[in-house]
Amino acid sequence: MSQRLAALLLPVCIIGCVLAYGQGPRKPRPHIVIITADDMGWHDVGFHGTNQIATPNIDALAYDGVILNRHYSAPMCTPSRAALMTGRNPINVGMQHYVIDSDEPWGLGLNQRIMPEYFRDAGYRTHMVGKWHLGFFNDQYIPTSRGFDTHIGYLGPYVDYWSYVSKMNSGTFEGYDMRQNRFVNYAANGTYATDYFTTAAKDIIGQHGKSGEPMLLVVNHLAPHAGNDDDPLQAPQETIDRFAYIQNLDRRTYAAMVSKLDDSVGEIYGALKAHGMLDNSIIVFLCDNGGVTRGMHSNTGSNYPLRGQKHSPWEGAVRTAALIWSPLLIDTQRVSNQWFHISDWLPTLASAAGFSVANSSFSDIDGIDQWEALAYGTGNPRQRLMNNLDEIFGYTSYMENGFKYINGSTLNGANDEWYGQTDPLDRLPSDEKYLAGVMSTTIARTAKLDEKVISYLRRHAKIDCGNEIAHQPCNPLRKPCLFDIINDPCEMHDIADEYPRLMRDIRRRLEHYRLRAAKPRNRPHDPQADPSKFGGIWTWWRTDPTVAAKQHDGEIPPPSNSLSKDTQLIVIIPIAVVGIIFVIGTLLYLSNKNIIKLCRRTKQSSTNMPSEIPTDAASSEGKPTTDAAFSSNIYVISDRDMDR
Ligand SMILES: *[C@@H]1O[C@H](CO)[C@@H](O)[C@H](O)[C@H]1NC(C)=O
Ligand SMILES: *[C@@H]1O[C@H](CO)[C@@H](O)[C@H](O)[C@H]1NC(C)=O
Ligand SMILES: *[C@@H]1O[C@H](CO)[C@@H](O)[C@H](O)[C@H]1NC(C)=O
Ligand SMILES: [Ca+2]
């Protein structure tokens, strides 16, 4: 019976198939735009509940997409960017310790295959705008040598927002750091960096237009990172003036820096819309690490009420503001509490684009493909998060199944407190004003956002730890601490003594991580890097000139699509016919058995163990009373009713 039906349908299918092919190729891969903020705090976006700094565009995108409420980055720039680009944990690629100063001869290993290389192979055009910070002492390390068709931006950790000068080595080395591919970009000089990068991104989108090719665009903003130490906070005066209600002048300027960044997000969205790309786009916004309220490169960023700040083992360093927006997501306008590590983006976005990076012959990906969980709101594929294990500074920050473990700290504990509480003298805008701001954005109007939905989501994305003082304060410099990070997100109560077995299990697992970790790649300062030797320009000072001469300058390679259309047709038709017969047969079989169930699958955690460490017998500490979910390995947090 099923065979007769199939025979009947077959000619229809073939005709349909040929017609469909004639009308154009398969649905094109989605455009992917990743926008990163640098050193921006948890408490510096409106969707986390503050009215101090308006970020209506970022917020509208968050409310209409998925708020990633447990998004974890590495504690500093270089490790985070390494993880984003490689899909690997920084400890496994030797990028776990500190950052690359521009006069240091090291970078992300050339044996690492990075995001734009994977996407280029999948037919993408690949563009980077803004910060690199993964090494440039040799020109083989720069973005356009590593898979990006184009790069407009700087190579080091930070520059002046107007002059693009970057000072290193206690200010004794000073040079211009701004590139257009391999060339020095002098045109940017004098234009506010956030504006320049926004224009560059819009130009790329405009030129790309409806070319039909998929686009990967990574926009790594300078904002709101501090500039050079002698003039760290910089924004146009008219923007600063809009925040006159903020008493602290540095914080006021910082608010303007964040506000310009928010404008950028709105403009990039607008450009995608104007060029007909929005319907098939994925936009990701994330922060590379927490804000810096105090100390070196302080920008007054706030992670309140989270503990700590950038460059520490605490949540304030690693739990970062993030969102994903896309018409390709099925279950949107929600707060996701699935654990997400920055290394997950590569496999996740590849999956969204229809290809896999999991088993490349180049490297083992540590990240987990969370596309299905994000798109359908199903499950929580990740149970473990290695924030960092830095043997040089001597600290470990790690989470599994909702328990966070910290041993040791940075800077002898200088970043271990709670910072960034809003000045009570600031007369903040009202909630009504906040809502009106979000609703007035193009994003909110296009998405037809509802004010009730916004208020609901905002309430659920906010972390409130009350005004409680830590009554079990932890000093990880003395002994390791453990936190129930779901019920104690602000790391106030050390519960290590209550869980001796879990502590032992964790220590054993951490030993696996430690033994498997790559040696940090850091190299000391090199006097030869001094820009004054190169006409005041930061450049690749260790490039072999004979190799450099052979490299073609700034040329964009052709896309990798190869088969001719006729060949494709000859290959596709027989495959399609066989496929259709198979599908019809299967459908008939399944409908008989009445077992078709669509979507909403819950994944078995065992198939999704992070590959960062060898799978170990799961801990069996018993059933903690705090959260029923702990009792199961399939650790599902319901997004809609987690209210903390
Ligand atoms: C940038 O512009 C300023 C002001 O015009 C100028 O003094 C400086 O030399 C320029 N920098 C470079 C690298 O050309
Ligand atoms: C990668 O391939 C190897 C063998 O080729 C296999 O053992 C391994 O399970 C694969 N890993 C993944 C993540 O698919
Ligand atoms: C905690 O960190 C310190 C400093 O790195 C180290 O000496 C000690 O062995 C660690 N303790 C445990 C229990 O791992
Ligand atoms: Ca950073």
* Structure confidence at residue 139 (pLDDT): 96
pLDDT in tens, 216-269: 999 999 999 999 999 999 999 999 999 999 999 999 999 999 999 999 999 999
| Distance from residue 536's CA to the centre of ligand 1 (Å) | 10
Q: What are phi and psi of 217, to 5 degrees?
A: -125, 115
Residue nearest to atom 5 of ligand 3 (CA): 394
356 lines ligand 2 (CB under 6 A): no
Residue nearest to atom 1 of ligand 1 (CA): 189
Q: Which pTM does this prediction carry? A: 0.83
Burial of residue 530 (number of CB atoms within 10 Å: 0-12, 13-18, 19+): middle
pLDDT in tens, 68-118: 999 999 999 999 999 999 999 999 999 999 999 999 999 999 999 999 999
| Distance from residue 589's CA to the centre of ligand 4 (Å) | 54
Q: What are phi and psi of 204, to 5 degrees?
A: -60, -45
Cis amide linkage into residue 489, ω under 30° from 0:
no
394 lines ligand 3 (CB under 6 A): yes
d(CA 289, CA 296) in angstroms, rounded, equals 15
Extract the tokens encoding 492.
Answer: 């106030």
397 lines ligand 3 (CB under 6 A): no
Q: Which residues of 42-76 are buried (b: 16+ CB within 10 A; e: fewer)?
A: bbbbbbbbbbbbbbbbbbbbbbbbbbbbbbbbbbb
The pLDDT confidence band at residue 574, using thresholds 50, 70 and 90, is low
Q: Does residue 210 carry a pLDDT above 60? A: yes
pLDDT in tens, 17-52: 444 444 445 679 999 999 999 999 999 999 999 999
Q: Which residues of 128-142 are buried (b: 16+ CB within 10 A; e: fewer)?
A: bbbbbbbbbbbbbbb
* Structure confidence at residue 211 (pLDDT): 85
Flag the least confident range among 49-53, 196-200, 463-467, 495-499.
463-467
Contact between 485 and 315 (Cβ < 8 Å):
yes
169 lines ligand 1 (CB under 6 A): no
Contact between 277 and 261 (Cβ < 8 Å):
no
| Distance from residue 480's CA to the centre of ligand 3 (Å) | 8
Residue nearest to atom 14 of ligand 1 (CA): 186
Flag the least confident range among 205-214, 364-373, 568-577, 632-641.
632-641
408 lines ligand 3 (CB under 6 A): yes
Residue nearest to atom 5 of ligand 2 (CA): 359
Extract the tokens encoding 535.
Answer: 């006409």
Helix pair angle (56-64, 451-461), 10° resolution: 90
Q: Answer yes or no: 599 catalytic.
A: no
- Cα-Cα end-to-end distance for the chain: 57
Nearest 5 degrees, angle CA 259-CA 165-CA 322? Answer: 35
Contact between 232 and 162 (Cβ < 8 Å):
no
Query: In 401-540, which ranges are E strands?
Result: 403-407, 481-484
Cis amide linkage into residue 305, ω under 30° from 0:
yes
Instruction: Report which residue type is found at 168.
Output: M
d(CA 243, CA 238) in angstroms, rounded, equals 9
Query: In 288-371, which ranges are E strands?
Result: 322-325, 334-336, 340-341
The CA-atom distances, in angstroms, between 249 and each of 38, 233, 252, 299 are 20, 10, 5, 11
Nearest atom within ligand 2 for CA of residue 365: 13
Q: What are phi and psi of 527, to 5 degrees?
A: -60, -25
d(CA 69, CA 286) in angstroms, rounded, equals 11
Q: Which ligand is nearest to the CA of 503?
A: 3
Q: Does residue 583 carry a pLDDT above 90? A: no
Query: Catalytic one among 48, 71, 77, 474?
Result: 77
Contact between 73 and 311 (Cβ < 8 Å):
no
Q: Answer yes or no: 77 catalytic.
A: yes
Contact between 135 and 106 (Cβ < 8 Å):
yes
* Structure confidence at residue 563 (pLDDT): 44
* Structure confidence at residue 502 (pLDDT): 98
Q: Where are the domains of the chain?
A: 34-383+431-464+522-547
| Distance from residue 524's CA to the centre of ligand 3 (Å) | 26
d(CA 101, CA 328) in angstroms, rounded, equals 39
Query: Catalytic one among 48, 133, 208, 225?
Result: 133
Average pLDDT, the chain: 86
Partnered with residue 175 across adjacent β-strands are 166
3-state secondary structure of 42: helix
Instruction: Determine the average pLDDT of the residues in 361-381.
Output: 89
Domain range 34-383+431-464+522-547, CATH class: alpha beta
Contact between 286 and 34 (Cβ < 8 Å):
yes
Nearest 5 degrees, angle CA 310-CA 312-CA 314? Answer: 95
3-state secondary structure of 340: strand
Substitution candidate for ligand 1 out of 159, 163, 176 with most atoms within 8 A of CB = 163
- Which position has the higher pLDDT, 46 or 361? 46
Alpha-helical (H) ranges within 209-306 are 237-241, 249-274
* Structure confidence at residue 587 (pLDDT): 65
Cis amide linkage into residue 500, ω under 30° from 0:
no
